[in-house]
Amino acid sequence: MINSIVNFASKLLGSPSTAEDFYRFNGGVHPAEHKQESTLKPIGKLPIPPSLVLPLRQHVGYIPKIRVKVGDYVHKGQMLAEAEGSVSAAIHAPSSGTVSAIADAIIPHPSGLPDMCITITPDGKDRWVDLKPIDWRNTPKTELVASLRLSGIVGLGGATFPTHIKVRADGKSGVHTLVINAAECEPYITCDDMLMREHADEIVKGMEIVQYLLGAERCIVGIEDNKPEATAAMRAACSALPGSSVKVVPTLYPSGDARRLIHLLLGTEIPHDKRSTDVGIQVFNVATVRAIYRYFTFGEPSLSRIVTMTGNVANPQNFEVLFGTPLQTLIAAAGNAGADTTHFIMGGPMMGFDLPSANVPITKAANCIIAATPHMFAAPPPAMPCIRCARCADACPVNLQPQELYWFAKSDNFEKARDYNLFDCIECGCCSYVCPSNIPLVQYYRYAKSEIIAADKAKEAADLARERNEFRLARIEREKLERAQKHAERAASAKKEEAQTSTGDAKPAATDTGTQASAAADDAKKAAIERAKAMKQAQTENDTPAASEAQPAKSEKALAAKTAADNDPDKQAKIAAAIARAKAQKLAAAQSAADNAVAAQAAGDSAAEQTKTEQSKQDKQALIAAAIERAKAQKLAAAQAGVTPKNTDNVSASVKAEIEKIDAIREKAHIADNTDKT
Amino acid sequence: MNRSPYVSDAPSVSVIMFKVLLALIPGIVAYLWVFGGGIIVSIVLATVTALVAEATLLKIRQRPIKPYLCDLSAIVTAWLLALALPPLAPWWLVVVATLFAIIVAKQLYGGLGYNPFNPAMVGYAAMLISFPIIMTKWPAPLTLAQNPLSFTEQLGFIFSNILPAGVTVDAVTSATPLDYLKTQLMLNHEISGISKAPIFGMFGAKGGEWISAGYLLGGLYLVQQRIISWHLPTAFLAALALISLVFYGADNTHYANPVFHLMSGASMLCAFFIITDPVSGPTTPRGKLYFAAGVGVLTYLIRVYGGYPDGVAFAVLIMNMCVPMIDAATQPRVFGHEK
């Protein structure tokens, strides 16, 4: 009380507060730690289990592409699945053996749904592939990053974000500070603590590599003050690395949240709509930097991690566990779970989740497994109404108003929830932890978030569909008018010609010329399409020359059409008839080229004025639209392929597809035009 | 399934309400000493009425009865109302006030957590408007009364309006200092003379200031227990003190000093027990400051310029109306956001 008054007074006077060299964030809670139990023994090793089940989905991003097949013999460290797409991570064989299955299996996920897994039956020999250590000091950074992509290393703090993305900097990152997250703020979890106690040197060597890759000037390790042994070990190891330091922060959940930790250590608040790298800070977990060290120094890909096995087991302990090891093996190693164990929790008690079964494999995200009993984690009493006591607001580390968010989420008032920054919620659970009414607040927020995301997606799709439909209706209307006009013109000119030529020898040549003419017209059409394609190319690049190109294209088209018509002047009547008979699409194809030219011109003009960002946005939209149109065209083509064309008229499936493509381009031009207007 | 967090460390609503009741004890003891046992009768009457009304309404609304009765919120309302009403108020007044508070102000709005107005103050205000004579007639403190009533005599008065032979109502009751001050000021008397009347004590009302001290003690316990936040009582008392100081400084012959205002009437009860009702109050720290300061200023203005001697109930109800606006306007800066 006195202290708080003194602090308050000192703050008022603006004098620096006494010994604190960290920056507090609002709220936070201090649950019972329960870390002691699992730190009594050193990190244990597990025997090679009888089978290793490796889910493809162990990281954030795209699932990797499988590179083996059932029956293959694989060596330890051999790549089983390759990273596909930018945000993805490879998966390697944690031990040598035979691929025995590639099928759906149960995975450690809150949904409890099975997912694709590669199962290996180890032969027990643990035969390594040829490991290729990398001399990182004498290798270009781009090669190092490319190599990391093959390592399968992801953030081992629990976020499992592929690591190669985070160091993809090539020296121009602007990252000046590397923060090593060793806070480990969740109760029960001690894997980082034990890792630091036992392998501080490897961690610091990893820090050196990451610091080099990012081009960071300094490196700060943030550790909570409940880990004195780890702090001492890290301090000793850090003395070998210039620019690095260890900073102790108070034990306060959730100080291990990256944004909270950065604030604690540096006093920097990362703006809500930015990443930490935008302000020159990158955060790595201790276990991740150690994995990076081992990968470069020994060539070892990501095959195992330290897992805390604690809770209601005979001997709580940390183990180095191969990925894919069945949870049962780990439980057995810790002396089995007590009889009153009801379920297993992956992660800590604040943010973890119930595992669907004890048969799930250990994955890259598994930092801690807690054998839970009803005694340890009592089911909360039924929720009472919110009494607006605002304890949740006092505890919220993001300084949100959880009681308001709850109210909005409960009443499905999602817009309001968004206004009150629902999406800044980190789901740390502090609000639920302090709620006197036992309201499952975090669940309400998760629900509201998922509803909002779903609604946003639906709205985006609906907007796109509406826009497309409006454009389509307008185009149909315009084409109808144009067709009618053309028809009238042709009819008029045909009558005129008929009056001039004799009817005698026209008949025998009719069929021949008709075919010829239509072939010629077809050629012209194809040429127009080719040109349209070229224009599309130009459009995608959004170069202003597109406009200048478009203009000649228009005149060329007109010329081509003229040549086709002039081919056989005395058979004009027949040609006109053939063209008149031709399907709407055929005319439309030729016409569309002209339209396109005009639209492209408009787009080109506007493009010159628009900023680059706007253009890329439009491009994206247009590309999506084009893709949809293409799909539609394919469908149409498929449908048409099944029907015998009644008309000899050769509007083939491919031509039709091309027409649709052109429509897509026109749509894009239309969007560009619209954007310009607005 | 994701149902984290698995752990929790929060006093239940029942515990919070229980501590509020506990914190009222010092004030009640002082009350007993100053006005006699009649207050116990009021408290018991109000408690029983509140529980019966709450249970009945919950039954009608098809809500579980036990958990809601066990949250003790109805009892808190009952006690606050009993303490706010005049000590020798007839039994039916206590019952009607409590019924109004529980049924109309609380349950008809959806029960615990949904009432926009402080139920005790709604009950009090309804009675003040309906029965102004009874509501402003307070018994004289036992030490000042010509014929101090014994407990049984108080019971007789409460339940059957019977006074001992030869004792008139005027002999039992007297105006409160706030009331007296108001009427005397209207007669153009000066404060210095008015406050010489025997009903004035050291700071506020004779006897009443001890009750206020009891509330203050209980209130500090609630702050220490973090049941209520310091913002509310601090801002209320500071605002009340400040505005009375301004008036007092400008003209100390016609405006009472700040300490008198802090220690008179329902100031202390209001500061620690009335405006701290979380349901009908604001939730943001800044909002609490504005809300409480608003109640303080309004209380003073009603006391000085209004038609009633004390202004706490109306001040609270008026500020309750402003709560949604205050909350919306005082959202704190979210981490990583510009103000």
CA A499 to each of CA A173, A496, A514, A578, B306: distance values in angstroms, whole numbers, following the listed order = 78, 5, 19, 18, 105
Average pLDDT over residues B169-183: 77
Is residue A3 one of the residues assigned to a domain? no
**Which one, of A287, A298, A18, A302, lies nearest residue A158 by Cα?**
A287
DSSP code for B16: H
Closest CA relative to residue B173, chosen from B151, B213, B197, B142: B142
Is B123 in contact with B175 (CB distance < 8 Å)?
Answer: no
A593: tokens are: 């080229």
Give the integer Cα–Cα distance in Å for A157 and A184.
9
Using a CB-CB cut-off of 8 Å, the residues of chain A touching B112 are 384-385, 387
Domain containing residue A113: 28-379
Res. B246: pLDDT tops 50: yes
- Chain B touched by A601 (CB under 8 Å): no
**How distant, in Å, are the alpha carbons of A173, A204, A207, A219, A240 from that of A215?**
7, 16, 12, 11, 18
Q: Per the CB < 8 Å rule, is B12 touching A110?
A: no
Query: Which residues make Cβ contacts (< 8 Å) with residue B156, sequence separation at least 6?
Result: B162, B163, B164
Does the residue A322 lie in any domain? yes
Cβ contact A401–B332 (<8 Å): yes
Question: To the nearest whole angstrom, how far is the Cα of A442 from the nearest Cα of chain B?
Answer: 8
Total structural domains within chain A: 3
Strands A73-74 and A97-106: antiparallel
Same domain, A241 and A156: yes
Cβ atoms B135, B153 nearer than 8 A: no
Q: Which of B3, B6, B71, B232 to mutate to test the interface with A (most CBs of A within 10 A)?
A: B6
Give the angle subtended at the CA of A364 by the CAs of A318 and A288, to the nearest 5°: 80
Give the start-end residues of each E strand in B105-159. 138-139
Average pLDDT, whole number, for chain B?
90
Q: Which two tokens stand for residue A285?
A: 């977990």
Contact A160, A365 (CB under 8 A): yes
Q: Does A398 touch chain B (CB under 8 A)?
A: yes
Whether A2 is covered by a domain: the verdict is: no
- My answer on whether A523 and A552 are in the same domain is yes
Q: Which residues of A28-54 are buried (b: 16+ CB within 10 A; e: fewer)?
A: bbebebbbebbbeeebbebebbebbbb
The distance in angstroms from the start CA to the end CA of chain A is 59
Calculate the CA A190 to chain-centre distance. Answer: 30
**Matching residue, tokens 């990273």:** A83
Interchain CB contact of A284 with B (< 8 Å): no
> CA A499, A503, A507: angle at the middle one, nearest 5?
135
As a whole number of angstroms, the distance between CA A290 and CA A286 comes to: 6
Residue A17 lies in a domain: no
Domain termination site, one of A379, A407, A436:
A379
Q: Is the pLDDT score of B203 beyond 80? A: no
Question: What gap in Å lies between CA A397 and CA A400, rounded to an integer?
Answer: 8
Which CATH number is A371's domain given? 3.40.50.11540
Cβ contact A393–B67 (<8 Å): no
Q: Are residues A331 and A197 in the same domain?
A: yes
Domain assignment present for residue A179? The answer is yes
A389 & A374 share domain:
no
- Co-location of A42 and A143 in the same domain: yes
ipTM of model: 0.90
Residues A354, A341 contacting (CB under 8 angstroms)? no
Beta-carbon separation of B113 and A387 below 8 A? yes
Residue B209: its pLDDT value, please? 86
Same domain, A448 and A399: yes
pLDDT given for residue A616 in this prediction? 58
Q: Test B335 with A380 for CB contact under 8 angstroms.
A: no
The structure tokens listed for B232 are: 């509310």
Question: Where a domain ends, among A500, A526, A550?
Answer: A500
Chain A from 362 to 381: CB within 8 A of any B CB: 372, 377, 380-381
β-partners of residue A589 are none
Delimit the domains of chain B by residue range: 11-174, 177-328
C-alpha A369/C-alpha A355 separation (Å) is 9
Q: In this structure, which amino acid lies at residue A366?
A: A
pLDDT-derived band at B138, boundaries 50, 70, 90: confident
In this structure, are A551 and A606 located in the same domain?
yes
- The Cα of B52 is separated from the nearest Cα of chain A by a number of Å equal to 20
My answer on whether A41 and A181 are in the same domain is yes
Question: Which residues in chain B touch residue A254, judged by CB atoms under 8 angstroms apart?
Answer: none
| Residues in chain A, pLDDT under 50 | 1, 13-18, 504, 506-511, 513-514, 542-566, 568-569, 583-588, 590, 602-604, 607-609, 642-651, 677-678
Domain identity same for A390 and A375: no
**Residue A626 to residue A662: CA distance in whole angstroms:** 9
| Phi, psi torsion values for A270, nearest 5 degrees | -75, 125
| Residues in Cβ contact with B131 at an 8 Å cutoff, skipping those fewer than 6 apart | B93
Q: What is the pLDDT of residue A645?
A: 37
Decide which of A347, A379, A411 is a domain's last residue.
A379
As given in the structure block, the two tokens for residue A116 are 């694709």
8 Å CB contact between A525 and A591 = no
Cα separation values, A202 from A229, A293, A482, B98, Å: 16, 7, 75, 71
Q: Do A36 and A164 belong to one domain?
A: yes
pLDDT at res. A367: 94
- What number of other Cβ atoms are within 10 A of residue A669's Cβ? 29
Same domain, A264 and A289: yes
Does residue A13 lie within any of the structural domains?
A: no
| Residue B206 reports pLDDT greater than 60 | yes
| Domain assignment of residue A491, yes or no | yes
